C-alpha cells in the first residue's frame, strides 16, 4: 500500500492519482472481499491487543469529497472490532460554543487515549478546506492553519499517537452516480442535501484546497494516503491493509497479569 502514501515534501496533484486503480490487488472483487474478511478478523485481534496493552493510541482521519464513502469505510473496515475500545467522531458545522474557542479545541478533546482507536469522520481539515472554499477564511488564515495542524499532530505523535490520514479519492462521475442513487433509494434519501449540489459546483476549488492541505500537512509521523475510492471493495481493502500493517508494526504484547493467586 506504499503506492498510496504521499511522499513528504512533494506537490500533490489529485489528477495524478487514479480513483479507479485496483492494481495493488488484481485478483478481483470476490477475492478482494474474501481478503477483507481476513483483515477484519485480524484488525479485531489487534484492536483487542491495543486495548489490553494500554500503551499506544491510533487516530484514523477520513476525508474526501461528498459521497466518497467515509461512512461506508467505517462500517466495513471496523466491522470486527470491539466497540469498547473504538470511537467514531463526526465533525459537522461547529456549534456556537465551539466557535467561541480556537478551531482545534473541539478536535483535541476527541483524540484517542491509551488503548483506543478513534476514527474522525471529517476532521480539523474541514477548517482549511470547507472554510477556504466557502470564503469563510482568507489565504493568510488557512496558510497559518497548516502550521497549527502540523504542530498539533506532531505533539499527538510524540505523545504516542499513531496517526493515519486517508483521502478517499473519487471522480465526478462516481460522485454523480452516488448522488443519484441517494435520491432513488428511500433508505438513503435522508443523506441527500441541496448543499451536495452546491459543493459539486465547486469541485475544482475543493480539489485545489485538498491538494494544498495534503501537501502542506504530510509528514512521516502523520502521513496522508490517497486511496482510490471509485470501487468500494478496493477502497475498504486498501484502508484496512494500511491500518492492519500499522498496528502490526507497533509489535504489541499482552501485559502480564498482576496479583495472581499463589
Q: What are the cell numbers at 199?
A: 459543493
CATH number (domain holding residue 214): 3.40.50.300
- Does residue 258 sit within a domain? no
At residue 174 the predicted structure's pLDDT band, cuts being 50, 70 and 90, is very high
Give pLDDT, residue 52: 96
CA distance 223 to 245: 14
At residue 177 the predicted structure's pLDDT band, cuts being 50, 70 and 90, is very high
Residue 216 has pLDDT above 80, yes or no: yes
Closest CA relative to residue 59, chosen from 236, 253, 247: 247
Q: Note whether 4 and 206 are within 8 A (CB).
A: no
User: CA 145: distance to chain centroid?
Assistant: 19
Q: What are the cell numbers at 31?
A: 477475492
When pLDDT is averaged across residues 52-57 and rounded to a whole number, the result is 96
Closest CA relative to residue 142, chosen from 95, 205, 93, 196: 205
When pLDDT is averaged across residues 227-232 and rounded to a whole number, the result is 98
When pLDDT is averaged across residues 15-33 and rounded to a whole number, the result is 92
- Does residue 261 sit within a domain? no
* CB count in 10 Å sphere of residue 93: 8
When pLDDT is averaged across residues 102-119 and rounded to a whole number, the result is 98
Fill in the DSSP letter of residue 172. Answer: H
Residue 134 has pLDDT above 70, yes or no: yes
Give pLDDT, residue 232: 97
pLDDT, tens only, 143-153: 999 999 999 99
CA distance 157 to 214: 17
- Does residue 235 sit within a domain? yes
pLDDT, tens only, 196-211: 788 889 999 999 999 9
CA distance 84 to 117: 10
Q: What are the cell numbers at 82?
A: 470491539
Fill in the DSSP letter of residue 105. Answer: H
- Does residue 108 sit within a domain? yes
Q: Note whether 162 and 171 are within 8 A (CB).
A: no
What is the reported pTM? 0.94
**Exposed (0-12), middle (13-18) or buried (19+): which is 194, by Cβ within 10 Å?**
exposed
Owning domain of residue 240: 2-248
| Angle in degrees, CA 77, 223, 159, rounded to 5 | 95
Closest CA relative to residue 30, chosen from 231, 207, 164, 226: 231
- Does residue 262 sit within a domain? no
At residue 28 the predicted structure's pLDDT band, cuts being 50, 70 and 90, is confident
When divided into structural domains, the chain yields a total of 1
Residue 262 has pLDDT above 70, yes or no: no
When pLDDT is averaged across residues 46-60 and rounded to a whole number, the result is 97
pLDDT, tens only, 63-94: 999 999 999 999 999 998 999 999 999 999 99
Q: Note whether 36 and 70 are within 8 A (CB).
A: no
When pLDDT is averaged across residues 108-134 and rounded to a whole number, the result is 97
User: CA 165: distance to chain centroid?
Assistant: 5
- Does residue 255 sit within a domain? no
CA distances from residue 161 to 9, 105, 259 in whole angstroms, order as listed: 22, 18, 30
- Does residue 213 sit within a domain? yes
- Does residue 133 sit within a domain? yes
User: CA 17: distance to chain centroid?
Assistant: 17
Residue 195 has pLDDT above 80, yes or no: no
Residue 237 has pLDDT above 90, yes or no: yes
Amino acid at each position: 500500500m506504499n503506492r498510496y502514501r504521499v511522499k513528504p515534501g512533494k506537490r500533490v496533484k489529485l489528477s495524478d492519482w487514479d480513483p479507479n486503480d485496483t492494481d495493488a490487488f488484481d485478483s478481483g472483487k470476490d477475492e478482494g472481499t474474501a481478503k477483507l474478511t481476513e483483515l477484519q478478523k485480524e484488525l479485531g485481534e489487534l484492536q483487542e491487543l491495543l486495548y489490553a496493552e494500554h500503551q499506544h493510541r491510533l487516530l484514523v482521519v477520513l476525508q474526501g469529497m461528498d459521497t466518497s464513502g467515509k461512512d461506508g469505510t467505517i462500517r466495513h473496515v471496523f466491522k470486527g472490532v470491539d466497540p469498547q475500545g473504538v470511537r467514531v467522531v463526526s465533525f459537522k458545522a461547529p456549534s456556537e460554543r465551539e466557535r467561541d474557542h480556537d478551531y482545534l479545541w473541539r478536535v483535541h478533546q476527541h483524540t484517542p487515549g491509551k488503548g483506543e482507536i478513534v476514527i474522525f469522520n471529517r476532521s480539523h481539515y474541514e477548517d482549511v478546506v470547507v472554510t477556504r472554499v466557502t470564503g469563510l477564511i482568507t489565504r493568510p488564515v488557512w496558510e497559518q492553519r497548516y502550521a497549527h495542524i502540523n504542530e498539533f499532530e506532531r505533539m499527538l505523535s510524540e505523545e504516542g499517537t499513531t496517526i493515519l490520514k486517508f483521502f478517499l479519492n473519487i471522480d465526478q462521475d462516481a460522485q454523480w452516480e452516488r448522488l443519484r442513487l441517494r435520491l432513488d433509494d428511500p433508505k438513503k434519501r435522508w443523506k441527500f442535501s441541496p448543499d451536495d449540489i452546491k459543493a459539486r459546483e465547486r469541485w475544482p476549488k475543493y480539489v485545489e484546497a485538498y491538494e494544498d492541505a495534503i501537501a502542506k500537512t504530510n509528514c512521516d509521523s502523520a502521513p496522508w494516503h490517497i486511496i482510490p475510492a471509485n470501487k468500494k471493495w478496493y477502497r475498504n481493502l486498501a484502508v484496512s491493509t494500511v491500518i492492519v500493517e500499522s498496528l502490526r508494526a507497533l509489535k504489541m504484547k499482552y501485559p502480564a497479569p498482576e496479583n495472581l493467586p499463589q
